[in-house]
């Protein structure tokens, strides 16, 4: 369905709801002076994309769906793992090995059938970012790495889409709304990706399960304020520590020579296009994303690999254990693979080439 058709459908839905005075679902928001009938109508006619569906992203998706944002898109490359369940509150044991975007979108559709929810099971990269993100009214960051955030920043500044940066690790988290042209962008604040090892990650530093939900709530509030054009004009970086109970609001200054928002150099979006091979920090794994999308017949491949090693598959993913090594490969339908048991891109490439003929 084309995005415009979705808007029409949502408009029609809202008019029907309006006509029948069936405001029960949103009644507690409608009486809030901050939202009201006009605000609810604006939310129902808005579109938001959420990049990443981990602890923060899935909570943002859940809250925006229940608040009645008319069209939501969730983009995530991963599948549900046991280590996620401690903090990713939308998932349960029955969801293990299934794609997060798919599980999350199905669950929020069950919570609100008045809205449209799209799920995209893909790795957002320079090859596909502009196509996948399109032109929603707003993007919320639920990603777990700076490379994706810098890419989202490039797309948002280039196409003038407001976005909300957020992240949580350890016991603290941060949120910063970014309005192209009006406020500083992510690169005004962090000019370049810090070298590996400088930033904390959840895989290495751990994360208390209460902080991503708080960060998601702050980010969702900022998202709603932007959609209703009721956001603050002096954007601040909000830093909250749930263990220390400290809240800081830091001013970020627009850099007049920022490569991205001042000079329109979109380095992360214009990065060399080709097969993308990334060592996943702290996970002892390498991800391979082919430059061109294809569709792999997972059931057929499972039949072949079954003769060689241990295979498990469902409609979306195939898990294969190489009997000769300690490598474990998770393959997605679009050809992307995560090779566990190595941090060496060359070793991962050779495993991929050995078992995935393209
Ligand atoms: Zn900037």
- The tens digit of pLDDT for each residue in 148-200 reads 999 999 999 999 999 999 999 999 999 999 999 999 999 998 988 776 555 66
- Please give the model's pTM, rounded to 2 decimal places: 0.80
Q: In what order do the strands lie in the sheet containing 138-141?
A: 116-120, 71-75, 47-51, 138-141, 163-169, 172-178, 236-241, 246-251
CA 105 to chain CA mean position, Å? 12
More confident position, 88 or 14: 88
Q: Chain-wide mean pLDDT for the chain?
A: 88
Alpha-helix runs per DSSP H in 95-249: 100-111, 129-133, 146-159, 186-189, 202-205, 211-227
What pLDDT is attached to residue 272? 64
From CA 353, how far away is CA 358, in angstroms rounded? 8
End-to-end CA distance of the chain: 30
14 has pLDDT over 80: no
From CA 274, how far away is CA 33, in angstroms rounded? 50
CA of 185 to the centre of ligand 1 (A): 4
CA of 254 to the centre of ligand 1 (A): 6
CA of 66 to the centre of ligand 1 (A): 33
What pLDDT is attached to residue 52? 97
Write down all domains in the chain, each with its CATH number in brackets: 3-251 (3.40.50.720), 276-355 (3.30.310.10)
66 has pLDDT over 70: yes
What pLDDT is attached to residue 322? 76
CA of 261 to the centre of ligand 1 (A): 4
CA of 60 to the centre of ligand 1 (A): 25
CA of 160 to the centre of ligand 1 (A): 12
Instruction: Find the mean pLDDT for residues 325-347.
Output: 86
CA of 198 to the centre of ligand 1 (A): 21
CA of 271 to the centre of ligand 1 (A): 18
CA of 217 to the centre of ligand 1 (A): 25
CA of 15 to the centre of ligand 1 (A): 40
Max Cα-Cα span within the chain: 66
CA of 64 to the centre of ligand 1 (A): 27
CA of 190 to the centre of ligand 1 (A): 9
CA of 260 to the centre of ligand 1 (A): 5
Highest-pLDDT range among 55-64, 198-207, 275-284 = 55-64
293 has pLDDT over 70: no
What pLDDT is attached to residue 18? 53
CA 89 to chain CA mean position, Å? 15
From CA 23, how far away is CA 338, in angstroms rounded? 46
| Phi–psi pair at 106, nearest 5 degrees | -65, -40
CA of 256 to the centre of ligand 1 (A): 8
């Amino acid at each position: 369905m084309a995005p415009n058709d979705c808007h029409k459908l949502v408009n029609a839905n809202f008019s029907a709801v309006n006509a029948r005075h069936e405001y029960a679902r949103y009644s507690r928001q409608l009486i809030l002076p901050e939202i009201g009938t006009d605000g609810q109508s604006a939310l129902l006619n808005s579109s938001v994309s959420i990049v990443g569906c981990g602890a923060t992203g899935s909570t943002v998706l859940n809250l925006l769906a229940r608040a009645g944002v008319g069209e939501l898109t969730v983009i995530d490359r991963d599948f549900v793992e046991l280590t996620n369940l401690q903090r990713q509150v939308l998932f349960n044991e029955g969801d293990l090995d299934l794609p997060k975007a798919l599980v999350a979108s199905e669950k929020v559709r069950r919570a609100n059938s008045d809205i449209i929810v799209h799920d995209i099971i893909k790795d957002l990269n320079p090859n596909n970012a502009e196509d996948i993100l399109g032109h929603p009214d707003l993007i919320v960051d639920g990603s777990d790495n700076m490379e994706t955030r810098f890419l989202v920043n490039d797309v948002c500044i280039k196409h003038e889409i407001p976005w909300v940066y957020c992240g949580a690790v350890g016991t603290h988290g941060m949120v910063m709304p970014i309005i192209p042209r009006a406020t500083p962008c992510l690169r005004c604040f962090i000019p370049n990706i810090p070298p590996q090892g400088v930033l904390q990650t959840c895989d290495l530093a751990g994360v208390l399960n209460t902080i991503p939900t708080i960060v998601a709530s702050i980010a969702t509030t900022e998202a709603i304020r932007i959609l209703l054009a009721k956001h603050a004009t002096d954007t601040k970086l909000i830093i909250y520590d749930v263990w220390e109970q400290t809240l800081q609001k830091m001013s970020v200054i627009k850099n007049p020579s920022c490569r991205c928002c001042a000079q329109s150099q979109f380095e992360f979006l214009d990065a060399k296009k080709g097969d993308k091979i990334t060592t996943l920090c702290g996970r002892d794994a390498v991800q391979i994303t082919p430059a061109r999308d294809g569709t792999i017949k997972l059931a057929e491949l499972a039949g072949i690999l079954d003769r060689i090693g241990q295979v498990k598959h469902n409609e979306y993913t195939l898990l294969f254990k190489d009997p000769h090594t300690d490598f474990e490969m998770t393959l997605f339908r679009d050809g992307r693979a995560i090779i566990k048991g190595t941090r060496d891109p060359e070793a991962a490439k050779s495993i991929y080439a050995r078992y995935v003929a393209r």
